[in-house]
Chain A
Amino acid sequence: MDGILEINDELINNYVNGNLNDADHKKVEKKIKADKSLSLEVDVHAVLIAEYKSDMKAFFKGITKKLDLKPKEFDYDAEDLAFIESDLLTNSELNYISETTPEKNIKIKPDLNTEINPEKKSTLKQESNPRINPEKKSSINSDAKSSFGLLKVAAAFLIFCLLGSVLYFSLGPSSQNVNQLADKFIANHYNAPTILRSESQQIDSDWQNAVKFYKSNDFSSSLKFTGIVTSRVSDNAEYNFYHGLNNLYSPDGSIENAISAFDKIANSSNLFEAASWYKALAYLKINKENQAKALFEKIASNPQSSRSKDAAKILKSMEGN
């Protein structure tokens, strides 16, 4: 990088993430000291990134705790170790990796400052044992290919499956696929809120507990606390929204209570659209397809909504049934 630094979002992000070399870091620091509005801009970037990382780490912590994950000592592959222990990459290299190494199927993009040693690149190797979907595995049976008898059995099985599918889709619950889709969206948990001090210390402490448990994916415990805060303050959109989500996520929750909590969120609230989305998913869970459809149609028809495509996907799936 030359002596003149162009301040843009990428440079600010690299600065706040500590990804600049010492010289550039000092240059940016000097500019920040001389420019109050730049200083605020940098702080806003830092807060936004920190909030996101803090939320994501809480999400990871929940997984680690739930699955009781612990570091394990593996029989490490020598090539992997050689690659890992090769010279320290610059942070820019960690962020910008490109230029394919075809035989190894990993892209490496050299940073403007630093070239990656091609010999180091060559230590990358193709994953030798990719995960195979067990369903796909079961459809491949090489022994059966060579045996006519087995072929007949397979043909009979296929006909049975085909008939079974026809019967299932004609007699079975019409919302099966839509429900699976709804489950998938519900399983994609909404990010936790950020805690800030409020006017009431007691509510603040209950809310803090609600958020703490929500962040660790303990929705049943979180539900108890969102129940307390919503019973005290009934018109707080954020409290009602997370109370609704806890009812949706927790095995102790009730779908009806989730809908009732989402209903309390005014359409002027910034959480209104997200609440409509989760309310529609909740309606699907209790097979109230007409109510769900009306909400999904509203979301799908709003081009500015980040969920419009997902809503359209669900509507299409509903039509298919």
Chain B
Amino acid sequence: MKKHYNSIKYSKEDFEDFKSGDNTALGFTYQTFYEYVCGILHFKYKANIDECNDVYGDAILKFQAAAMNDAVIYGNIKAYLTKVAVNVLRQNQRDRISHAKKYELFLSDQINKSNSYVNDDFEIEDEQRKKLIEAVKWGMTQLGELCRNILTDTIIKGLKPGEIFKNYNYKNARVLTDRKVKCKKHLLELVKKKIKE
């Protein structure tokens, strides 16, 4: 017998924890909506399990960024999340693979060569990719913790300075943006230096 959607329980407090960027809350949100969202992707849109997991992971991260940027508030989350996931699935099936996705596939292939559903037409040589990844990783380790955190929040997680400047005890978003520009410039110089070695 099919379960009714009302069996999903997710409170406003759960959403507030998720919105704060807490990893435990992220994990809880992921597991809460997994069966429902992946159920639709799998049974209705015929996505295989690997595809479901990948697409749902992307959807959760998009949803988290939107929540942390205060762009969504508590409501019918399962429908919103499913819509995001279905859009990601359609985009993957229809469009070119994004630049970041190609690197993501490369990184996951380094650990586990099990990516089966996307054809990787990435043409940059493996060695070049490795060198760049190594340089970026090294560059991040050379930055101070503050710069690493700023770049993680703004570039990696896509959080807006206007939403997070208070976390850094800055007066306004402009101060954080200026700091981010300096941190990024420093990182790019480090990466260039490492690649030249």
Chain A hits for B49, CB < 8 A? 71
Chain B hits for A290, CB < 8 A? none
Instruction: Name the interface residues of A48-67: CB closer than 8 Å to any CB of B.
Output: 48-54, 56-61, 63-64, 67
Instruction: Name the interface residues of B135-152: CB closer than 8 Å to any CB of A.
Output: 136-137, 140-146, 148-149, 151-152
Q: Are B36 and A74 in contact (CB-based, < 8 A)?
A: yes
CB distance from B148 to the nearest CB of A (A): 8
Instruction: Name the interface residues of A2-59: CB closer than 8 Å to any CB of B.
Output: 9, 13, 15-19, 37, 40-54, 56-59
Chain B hits for A273, CB < 8 A? 145
CB distance from B197 to the nearest CB of A (A): 14
One digit per residue, 1 when the CB lies within 8 angstroms of any chain B CB and 0 when it does not, for chain A 80-121 equals 100111001101001111101000111101000000000000
Number of B interface residues at 8 Å Cβ cutoff, please give it. Answer: 102
CB distance from A309 to the nearest CB of B (A): 8
Q: Are B57 and A42 in contact (CB-based, < 8 A)?
A: no
Q: Are B154 and A9 in contact (CB-based, < 8 A)?
A: yes
Residue of B5, B11, B83 ringed by the most chain A CB atoms within 10 A: B83
Interface: B79 (CB within 8 A): yes
Q: Are A75 and B98 in contact (CB-based, < 8 A)?
A: no
Q: Are B39 and A60 in contact (CB-based, < 8 A)?
A: no
Partner of B130, one of A49, A50, A88, A197: A197
Q: Are B99 and A42 in contact (CB-based, < 8 A)?
A: yes
Cα–Cα, bound, A290→B125 (Å): 53
Interface: B176 (CB within 8 A): no
One digit per residue, 1 when the CB lies within 8 angstroms of any chain A CB and 0 when it does not, for chain B 36-69 equals 1011111100000100111011101110011000
Chain A hits for B96, CB < 8 A? 18
CB distance from A58 to the nearest CB of B (A): 8
Q: Are B111 and A89 in contact (CB-based, < 8 A)?
A: no
Q: Are B35 and A133 in contact (CB-based, < 8 A)?
A: no
Who on chain A is nearest to B150 by CB?
A306
Who on chain B is nearest to A90 by CB?
B87
Chain B hits for A19, CB < 8 A? 98
Interface: A301 (CB within 8 A): no
Partner of A194, one of B91, B107, B143: B107
One digit per residue, 1 when the CB lies within 8 angstroms of any chain A CB and 0 when it does not, for chain B 167-197 equals 0010000000000100010011001100000
Chain A hits for B154, CB < 8 A? 9
Q: Are B72 and A71 in contact (CB-based, < 8 A)?
A: no
Interface window among A124-132, A147-155, A218-226 = A124-132
Interface: A70 (CB within 8 A): yes
Q: Are A89 and B87 in contact (CB-based, < 8 A)?
A: yes
Cα–Cα, bound, A139→B132 (Å): 57
Cα–Cα, bound, A205→B22 (Å): 32
Cα–Cα, bound, A59→B52 (Å): 15
Q: Are A74 and B3 in contact (CB-based, < 8 A)?
A: yes
Cα–Cα, bound, A187→B24 (Å): 7
Partner of B158, one of A13, A18, A77, A128: A13
Partner of A71, one of B43, B62, B151: B43
Cα–Cα, bound, A79→B5 (Å): 12
Interface: A279 (CB within 8 A): no
Indicate whether A17 sits within 8 Å of B100 (C-beta atoms), given known contacts A76-B5, A109-B71, A127-B75: yes
Residues of chain B having any CB pair with chain A under 8 Å? 2-6, 8-14, 22-24, 27, 30-31, 34-36, 38-43, 49, 52-54, 56-58, 60-62, 65-66, 71-80, 82-84, 86-88, 90-91, 95-104, 106-108, 110-112, 130, 132-134, 136-137, 140-146, 148-149, 151-152, 154-158, 169, 180, 184, 187-188, 191-192
Q: Mind listing 24 A-B residue pairs with CB under 8 Å?
A: A13-B158, A18-B97, A18-B98, A41-B188, A46-B102, A46-B103, A49-B103, A52-B156, A60-B53, A63-B27, A85-B86, A94-B87, A95-B65, A95-B158, A104-B76, A124-B79, A130-B9, A130-B10, A130-B11, A131-B11, A133-B11, A188-B22, A196-B133, A211-B111
Counting from the closest, the 4 A-B pairs by CB-CB distance are A18-B98, A131-B9, A50-B103, A71-B38
- What 8 additional pairs, Cβ within 8 angstroms, besides A45-B155, A74-B39, A97-B66? A84-B82, A104-B75, A106-B80, A126-B76, A127-B75, A127-B78, A133-B11, A306-B145
